[in-house]
């Protein structure tokens, strides 16, 4: 039966393909029957996986670096305890026997049952151990599969491309898709600027979040149309609808190709005002796309993605090579590397931290400053890479003067150490800060006085200004970049930074939304940083804009507080 679902489109375009469902617990579990005479063997396979994970955890514990945080060992011990508990290591045997099923399915059933029990627990400490159970289960699942990583591969022989349908995906999951050929993905949870959506956008495939019930209503292998621009999924379309969307898909492709002609055009308005268009990247390999779309710098390298999907930490040399490669590839153009913004929705494997309000908790620079040893490893790698190109350091989530001075102090310390070792770096390396907390925006002087440049992180700035969790689909309708308070803060930051002669860029998702390009231009923005695939659309918008006209109209928009009227005015501004 054909039906339609609506969510938030995070990346434009149309995909047509077959549904591939991801199981509820993020654990990909195939389900197949096992004949009676092979059940003992299946149980033995499960035992072998438990043994593999036991040795993995044992090896991890034996190799804890002396400088690792104290909770690291406690966390491994906890995982060993969960692994050794009979509810996980023995109960699946019973399920294999009674259900006559494979070990993965037995593990999945048992894990889901355990998680359901956790949901009922009132004690918040115990409830938080839910994440640990999932992680241990995932390890066993990987061991059963005989390889690391839990993102499934689409079937190579599918006539239509595969569309992944999941209840939820972490940013770490999505970043793995860079290596897989999914045509699209759909999730029940998530908001337009959740990191999951941000990474999805970088994959440049039409995708939708906040569908609420997609995982329940869509069946494996069902034919789907995904319209990422409108946020619409058509399930089991009839032939006429399918034909119409195939046509639209072709038109979209033609339009994208046409935009490629703008790759080498300098971005300037009709009245000659020049604008810089930089790119956001997650991994060094994204550079290929940066070049494809003609970005003239990296405005945001989210370095924390180097820390995800792995059980160890990237050491100084590994990071140095990643940063140096990007700096060299960009050949003198600015490369703005953000120090690791871990925490909240970007957790490392096995991170033992969890807080009631992770977005307000120990994340980004707050986390870095609690672990100066690890932070200095990254700073050393960045400084060493600065010798090979135009590297700039960007600090996320700064909020007060103390954080700035501590960070600058650590950078100075690392410079002295490199001097003593005779290791070259750029002594004039620029250090900037992300303005993504309203307090930082309102007390901007603290930042302009001490930093070389600023970058407005509107994804978080909107979340914190409006008190709307950017990852929560239940409040995503309240997440509004055009809220007067948000616009006032952006104007304030651009004007105040301008008076202080501190360069300011904008690197949140607003920068890549072509419907906001003209508005931001009129608000004084001259440096945009976005996913490379949005760059040409934004450039086209700039080339068609007259700053003088836009400015006058936007002054009227800023006086408008009625959201419906404001939207209508935005439409007229872009007409
Ligand atoms: C932002 O907050 O706008 C930003 C660019 O950083 P992130 O999306 O990684 O939090
Ligand atoms: Mg941010």
**Residues with Cβ within 5 Å of ion ligand 2?**
436, 457, 460
Q: Which atom of ligand 1 is nearest to the CA of 396?
A: 6
> Quick check: CB of 302 below 6 Å from ligand 1?
yes
Q: Are residues 348 and 271 in the same domain?
A: yes
Instruction: Give the residue, by CA position, lying nearest to ligand 1 atom 3.
Output: 457
Task: Give CA–CA dist 294/301, Å, rounded.
Answer: 16
Nearest one of 529, 348, 520 to 434, comparing CA atoms: 529
Q: Which atom of ligand 1 is nearest to the CA of 193?
A: 8
Residues with Cβ within 8 Å of residue 252, at least 6 apart in sequence: 12, 13, 14
Listed in order, strand segments (DSSP E) in 173-246 are 184-187, 207-209, 223-227, 232-235
Q: Are residues 79 and 226 in the same domain?
A: no
Q: Given ligand 1 and candidates 278, 283, 396, which is best to mutate, with the most ligand atoms within 8 Å of its CB?
A: 396
> Quick check: CB of 458 below 6 Å from ligand 1?
yes
Indicate the range of 21-30, 104-113, 214-223, 485-494 predicted with least confidence: 21-30
**Is 360 domain-assigned?**
yes
Nearest one of 296, 306, 355 to 331, comparing CA atoms: 296
Question: CATH no. for residue 534?
Answer: 3.20.20.60
Instruction: Give the residue, by CA position, lying nearest to ligand 1 atom 4.
Output: 457
What is the number of residues in the chain?
Answer: 575
Per residue in 149-169, pLDDT tens?
334 444 444 435 889 998 888
Q: Is the dihedral of CA 196, 200, 202, 207 positive or negative?
A: negative
**Is 406 domain-assigned?**
yes
The residue whose two tokens read 């059933």 is 109
pLDDT for residue 376: 97
Q: Are residues 394 and 498 in the same domain?
A: yes
Domain edge (last residue) among 257, 284, 302: 257
Q: Are residues 513 and 428 in the same domain?
A: yes
**Is 201 domain-assigned?**
yes
Q: What angle do CA 386, 362, 132 make, to 5 degrees?
A: 110
Q: Is the pTM of this model over 0.85?
A: no
Whole-number Å distance, alpha carbon 206 to ligand 1 midpoint, is 21
Whole-number Å distance, alpha carbon 366 to ligand 2 midpoint, is 13
Q: Are residues 155 and 141 in the same domain?
A: no
Number of domains in the chain: 3
Per-residue burial over 155-182, b = 16 or more CB atoms within 10 Å of its CB, e = otherwise:
eeeeeebbbbbbbbbbbbbbbbbeeeeb
Listed in order, strand segments (DSSP E) in 466-521 are 504-506
Per residue in 227-286, pLDDT tens?
999 999 999 999 999 999 999 999 999 999 999 999 999 999 999 999 999 999 999 999
List C-alpha distances in Å: 431 to 268, 306, 405.
27, 21, 12
Ligand nearest to the CA of 456: 1
List C-alpha distances in Å: 233 to 26, 247, 476.
22, 16, 18
Question: CATH no. for residue 223?
Answer: 3.50.30.10
Q: Are residues 99 and 120 in the same domain?
A: yes
Task: Give CA–CA dist 188/463, Å, rounded.
Answer: 20
pLDDT confidence of 147, banded at 50, 70, 90? very low
pLDDT for residue 125: 66
Q: Are residues 105 and 186 in the same domain?
A: no
Whole-number Å distance, alpha carbon 343 to ligand 2 midpoint, is 11
Tokens describing residue 367: 């986390």
Whole-number Å distance, alpha carbon 525 to ligand 1 midpoint, is 17
List C-alpha distances in Å: 176 to 39, 100, 118, 138, 170.
33, 33, 28, 15, 10
Task: Give CA–CA dist 393/411, Å, rounded.
Answer: 10
Q: Are residues 400 and 441 in the same domain?
A: yes
Q: Find the domain containing 280 and state its range.
A: 265-546
**Is 47 domain-assigned?**
yes
**Is 42 domain-assigned?**
yes
> Quick check: CB of 380 below 6 Å from ligand 1?
no
**Is 565 domain-assigned?**
no
> Quick check: CB of 198 below 6 Å from ligand 1?
yes
**Maximum distance among all Cα pairs of the chain, rounded to whole angstroms:** 80
> Quick check: CB of 459 below 6 Å from ligand 1?
yes
């Amino acid at each position: 039966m054909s039906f339609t679902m609506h969510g938030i489109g995070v990346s434009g375009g149309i995909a047509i393909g077959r549904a591939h469902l991801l199981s509820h617990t993020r654990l990909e579990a195939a389900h197949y029957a096992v004949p009676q005479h092979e059940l003992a063997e299946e149980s033995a396979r499960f035992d072998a996986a438990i043994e593999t994970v036991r040795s993995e955890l044992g090896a991890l514990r034996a190799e804890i670096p002396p400088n690792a945080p104290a909770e690291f060992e406690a966390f491994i011990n906890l995982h060993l305890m969960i692994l050794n508990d009979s509810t996980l290591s023995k109960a699946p045997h019973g399920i294999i026997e009674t259900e006559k099923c494979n070990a993965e399915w037995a593990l999945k059933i048992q894990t889901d049952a355990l998680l359901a029990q956790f949901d009922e627990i009132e004690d918040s400490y115990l409830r938080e151990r839910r994440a640990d159970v999932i992680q241990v289960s995932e390890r066993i699942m990987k061991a059963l599969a005989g390889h690391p990583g839990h993102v499934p591969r689409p079937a190579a022989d599918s006539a239509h491309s595969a569309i992944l349908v999941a209840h939820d995906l972490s940013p770490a999951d999505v970043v793995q898709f860079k290596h897989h050929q999914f045509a699209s993905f759909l999730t029940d949870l998530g908001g337009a600027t959740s990191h999951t959506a941000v990474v999805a956008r970088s994959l440049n495939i039409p995708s939708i979040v906040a569908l609420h019930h997609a995982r329940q209503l869509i069946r494996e292998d069902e034919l789907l149309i995904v319209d990422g621009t409108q946020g619409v999924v058509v399930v089991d379309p009839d032939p006429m609808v399918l034909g119409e969307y195939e046509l639209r898909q072709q038109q979209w492709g033609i339009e994208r190709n046409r935009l490629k002609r703008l790759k080498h055009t300098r971005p300037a308005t009709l009245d000659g005002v020049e604008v810089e268009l930089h790119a956001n990247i997650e991994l060094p390999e994204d550079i290929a796309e940066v070049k494809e779309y003609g970005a003239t710098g990296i405005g945001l390298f989210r370095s924390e993605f180097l820390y995800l999907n792995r059980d160890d930490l990237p050491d100084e040399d590994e990071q140095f090579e990643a940063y140096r490669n990007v700096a060299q590839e960009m050949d003198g153009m600015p490369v703005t590397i953000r120090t690791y913004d871990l925490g909240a929705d970007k957790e490392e494997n096995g991170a033992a931290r969890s807080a009631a309000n992770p977005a307000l908790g120990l994340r980004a620079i707050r986390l870095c400053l609690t672990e100066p040893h690890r932070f200095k490893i990254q700073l050393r790698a960045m400084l060493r890479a600065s010798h090979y190109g135009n590297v700039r350091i960007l600090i996320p989530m700064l909020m007060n003067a103390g954080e700035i001075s501590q960070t600058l102090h650590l950078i100075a310390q690392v410079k002295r150490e490199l001097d003593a070792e005779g290791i070259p770096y750029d002594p004039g390396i620029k250090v900037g800060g992300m303005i993504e907390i309203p307090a930082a925006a309102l007390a901007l002087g603290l930042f302009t006085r001490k930093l070389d440049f600023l970058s407005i992180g509107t994804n978080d700035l909107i979340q914190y200004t409006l008190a709307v969790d950017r990852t929560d689909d239940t409040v995503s309708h309240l997440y509004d970049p055009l809220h007067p308070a948000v616009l006032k803060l952006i104007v304030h930051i651009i004007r105040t930074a301008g008076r202080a002669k501190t360069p300011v860029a904008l690197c949140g998702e607003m920068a890549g939304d072509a419907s906001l390009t003209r508005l931001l231009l009129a608000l004084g923005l001259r440096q945009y940083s976005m996913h490379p695939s949005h760059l040409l659309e934004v450039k086209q918008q700039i080339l068609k804009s007259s700053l003088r006209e836009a400015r006058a109209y936007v002054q009227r928009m800023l006086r408008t507080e009625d959201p419906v009227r404001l939207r209508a005015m935005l439409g007229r501004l872009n007409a």
